Structure 1
Amino acid sequence: MTPAELADSIVAAVRDAVAGGELDVPVPTTVTIERPRQPEHGDYASPVAMQLAKAARRPPRQVAELLAARLRTNPGVAEVEVAGPGFLNIRLAGAALGGIAQAVVRGGAAYGRATTPRGLRVNLEFVSANPTGPVTLASTRWASVGDALARVLAAAGYEVGTEYYVNDAGVQVERFGASILAALRGEPAPENGYHGAYVAEIATRVVAANPGLEQLVAGSGGQVADEKALAVCARDGVEMMLAEIRSTLAGFGVEFDLWKSERSLHEAGELTAAIEELRAKGHVFDADGAVWLRTTDFGDDKDRALVKSDGHPTYFCADAAYYRDKRRRGFDRLCYLLGADHHGYIGRLRAIAACFGDDPEQTLDVIIGQLVTLSRGGVAVKMSKRAGTFLTLHDLVDAVGVDAARYSLVRASMDSSLDLDLDVIARQTNDNPVFYVQYAHARISSLIRNAAALGLATSADPAFDVEAVDVSLLTHQREVELLGALGELPRVIESAAALRAPHRIARYLEELAGTYHRFYDSCRVLPQGDEEATALTAARLLLVEATRVVLANGLHLLGVGAPERM
């Protein structure tokens, strides 16, 4: 019996009590199931009686006793105790607890995932770095976390659309073009321009793609030639840089459903349409020759300009148009994953949502991630050979590989800064979390191969009958602990999705790996010497395979490989 099945049993007990006239409460669709910290308190606990007591107009313990009496008739439940103010402490029957292993193997790659869609569409925007340079180390963290969060949300039953917002309009594009043009002329980058060897590389490629550019670069045509050369450098430079960003992220295992161009919003008249809609809703006013959005009505610290006095739209105007565009494409909830320097965007985006008539609590999530730094042996790694002034995704991957990079970046909460020691995360020892988890999977895969070599039935055999295994034999304390841990994956996925916290998956996997290693050290799985395989051997092999499935499923949610050999 999985925790979800136990929750269904408790809901059924409430429903029966209501039908029998013992309780007068709304029947919940689901209830909370927890694992007690102390094993002597049972396999699972639920506070459902305390949650229903007010509606029932009865003391929580009295409600708990009513539900406990009904649960005790369930053949999968061995014991129910009412504890404290009204907790239900539940111990499952041996076969019911062992049934978790059967459910995991039966579910395979689908185990842990929601069985029914939620009917909610979530738009997840992350990375969205300007196409004016390589993917930085900070953006690498957003790539790892964002992709993992998209996978977790999908596993929890949401329909997820991922987007990269391409800032291909505005001052930064002009500066990038000017920097490329300066590199072609052998001049220093302009003030506030872009530096690093990559600028010279892009400049060389721009010239190769535009044979007539050299004459314009020479500047013999005066201002017109300069403007043409600048336009070509900006246009092609951004396209080439964006192509490199796409390739870099794909190599990191990150793909986007949509690369949304800011320029396309301008060209399609979306900014004007957004202003008109906001004006019709009464939130736009004109002052000092500019057009403003009255965001202070919705908690922003000041009103925001939509169009400057020179007639040019602001970045904020594009943000408003982009929000409107996402909502018009049918997304129910918009999730933005932004860097530490974007904290001020929270109030602005919430105000935009409110001005369009939405409740920000229902339609908007803004997640602010903190910075990441690299060190080696305690000494900071400060400079990229190619970028010159900042570290890149390539720097990290070249040092430790994709799996170690992705796992190390996602295992910490986004609201905490992160210092990665390259020596630690490249090390193949148990103090390296990604190795610890991947090694558990590889160790199990080796055990299963050895079992097959001994002629023992495993799930790799198409004729293997999961239901025929006597899982009631799994009664050792370490077996019970491992079964309980395996049953937690659906709840962990649900929690990670609800809190937008994929690092919870990583921490769960590390705990599971530790639980498995303790089980393996205490419970011999394969027969040795002339020993015959027994029913307990088959049960433990099923438990081992279930652990492999959960480790693989969890690693997949993080975009990390589950190696069979290490």
Structure 2
Amino acid sequence: MTPADLSSTVLHAVRRAVDEDALRAPVPARVRVERTRPGGRGDYASAVALQLAGPAALPAREVAEILRVRMAGAPGIGRVEITGPGFLNFTLDAATDAAAHSALVHQVLEREARYGHGDALAGVPLRFSHAPEVRAAVTADAVRRLARAQGASVRISCDGACDPDWTRLGITGDAYARPAPVPPAEPAPAHSPASPTEIRPVPAGAAAGELLARLGPDATRWGLLRPAGHDRAPLGDELLVQGEGNPLFLVRYAHSRARALSRGAELLGFSGGDGRGPGNTQDADEAAFAEPEALALLAAIADHPAVLAAAARHRAPDRLARHLEAVAHAFFDFHDAASPLPVGDEKPSAAHRTRLALAEAAGTVLAGGLSLLGVSAPPYL
């Protein structure tokens, strides 16, 4: 069971409680679940009962109990407990969880770069405007890519002349449109497509040509997008350092290492899953999925769709950049704990194939995320 599956299960319990008149409160659009912190109970936790307690005019623990009884025995959930002032803690069913992990890896490898793309903004026409400044232009372009990956139609306008050097940063002219005229007597509401949302990050303090000459397109885009829009963007030579202290290098190196594992496995005559091709996880080794480092990497991969949706909704590509860093760190922890490739005289086993499939899934997530940021993901570094 992925975090998204668990969130849907909790939301279904809320709807059921409201429909049965056991709970009188508005049903939220979504329910947030998080990995339990060290020392906590279960695998995941949610504060939804505390959020509903006020509107329901009930103590949070009573709301939690109403939801607990409606989730007990749900597929994939082994145990539901209430802790503290009303937190719901979930322990997943191990057998179901292993099947879900296998299905998750298969889904990632099957969808490839489109894993995590969704319909959260399907049919929504969005318009953005930005100042004639390189960081604003790159941010608007990344927001456009993220929103389109969630089904939105997006157009961008610039408040001044576009810099020709922006094309070298992957910003294409077909993304731009002049704002539709609005009659003075009937101004459009702020959410109307005729009233573009302004994208105004802290300016870079340098022109595109200067940054490209010094950093190149990939480091320039990463350097402009990695910090939150309200923070200054550090654009020094640290973006070019070939070391794990440079987050851009870390993410791209993790991707290239995942691709190297696939090439190494091919030379040894096996591949991820059950040996019949990448993504085929029918013969997955449950013990390999249960290793702590594997579970951490699986959790990061499972979070990817929610991160993409949130980055699009909040116009915050920095959220995706930080998530890719988390996936890269989890990948290296996993890689160092148990090799996906046989060592010495070892023969390829189900555990090796399972680890390889998971490593390939991580590489796929990293490549897809970098693409949405407009940064290349070379197979060799």
Same fold (TM over 0.5): yes
CA 1:91–1:517 in 2, change beyond 3 Å: closer, same or farther? same
Unaligned runs of 5+ in 1: 130-138, 168-241, 282-319, 338-367, 374-390
More deviation, 107-116/78-87: 107-116
1:257 is paired with a residue whose SS is: helix
Contact 2:117/2:308 (8 A) holds in 1: yes
Contact 1:141/1:372 (8 A) holds in 2: yes
1:413 is paired with a residue whose SS is: coil
1:471 deviates by: 5.8
1:439 paired with 2:253, answer yes
State the distance in 1 between where 2:281 and 2:104 align.
12
2:35 is paired with a residue whose SS is: coil
State the distance in 2 between where 1:399 and 1:465 align.
40
After TM superposition, the structure 1 = structure 2 runs for residues 303-342 of structure 1, keeping only pairs within 5 Å, are 331=193, 334-337=196-199
Contact 2:279/2:357 (8 A) holds in 1: no
Which string of whole-angstrom CA distances, capped at 9 and with x for unpartnered residues, describes residues 72-117 of structure 1?
3123123322122111122323442524333333332222222354
Residue in 2 that maps onto 1:565: 380
Counterpart pick for 2:112 among 105, 108, 120: 108
State the distance in 1 between where 2:112 and 2:177 align.
36
1:23 deviates by: 3.5
State the distance in 2 between where 1:448 and 1:463 align.
11
1:419 is paired with a residue whose SS is: coil
After TM superposition, the structure 1 = structure 2 runs for residues 201-240 of structure 1, keeping only pairs within 5 Å, are none
CA RMSD between the two structures:
2.9
CA 1:463–1:509 in 2, change beyond 3 Å: closer, same or farther? closer
Contact 2:251/2:324 (8 A) holds in 1: yes
Matched residue type, 1:160: V
State the distance in 2 between where 1:260 and 1:465 align.
41
Which string of whole-angstrom CA distances, capped at 9 and with x for unpartnered residues, describes residues 179-233 of structure 1?
xxxxxxxxxxxxxxxxxxxxxxxxxxxxxxxxxxxxxxxxxxxxxxxxxxxxxxx
After TM superposition, the structure 1 = structure 2 runs for residues 62-461 of structure 1, keeping only pairs within 5 Å, are 62-94=62-94, 95-96=96-97, 98=101, 99-115=103-119, 117-127=121-131, 129=132, 139-166=133-160, 245-246=163-164, 248-257=165-174, 259-260=176-177, 274=183, 277-278=184-185, 331=193, 334-337=196-199, 368-373=200-205, 391-422=206-237, 424-458=238-272
Residue in 2 that maps onto 1:3: 3
Which string of whole-angstrom CA distances, capped at 9 and with x for unpartnered residues, describes residues 325-350 of structure 1?
x99xx72762112xxxxxxxxxxxxx
1:493 deviates by: 2.0
1:401 is paired with a residue whose SS is: helix
Matched residue type, 2:201: G
Q: Which has the larger radius of gyration?
A: 1
Contact 1:77/1:90 (8 A) holds in 2: yes
Residue in 2 that maps onto 1:31: 31
Contact 2:25/2:56 (8 A) holds in 1: yes
CA 1:249–1:55 in 2, change beyond 3 Å: closer, same or farther? same
1:13 deviates by: 2.2
CA 1:398–1:477 in 2, change beyond 3 Å: closer, same or farther? same
Percent identity at matched positions?
Answer: 33
More deviation, 480-489/71-80: 71-80
1:68 deviates by: 2.4
1:437 deviates by: 0.7
1:466 is paired with a residue whose SS is: coil
State the distance in 2 between where 1:523 and 1:44 align.
25
Scaled by the length of structure 1, the TM-score of the pair is 0.61
1:402 deviates by: 0.7
Which string of whole-angstrom CA distances, capped at 9 and with x for unpartnered residues, describes residues 419-447 of structure 1?
3212x112211122211110110011000
1:369 deviates by: 2.1
State the distance in 2 between where 1:261 and 1:475 align.
53
CA 1:89–1:415 in 2, change beyond 3 Å: closer, same or farther? same
2:54 is paired with a residue whose SS is: helix
Counterpart pick for 1:527 among 321, 342, 345: 342
CA 1:499–1:444 in 2, change beyond 3 Å: closer, same or farther? same
State the distance in 2 between where 1:482 and 1:408 align.
25
Q: How many aligned positions are there? A: 376
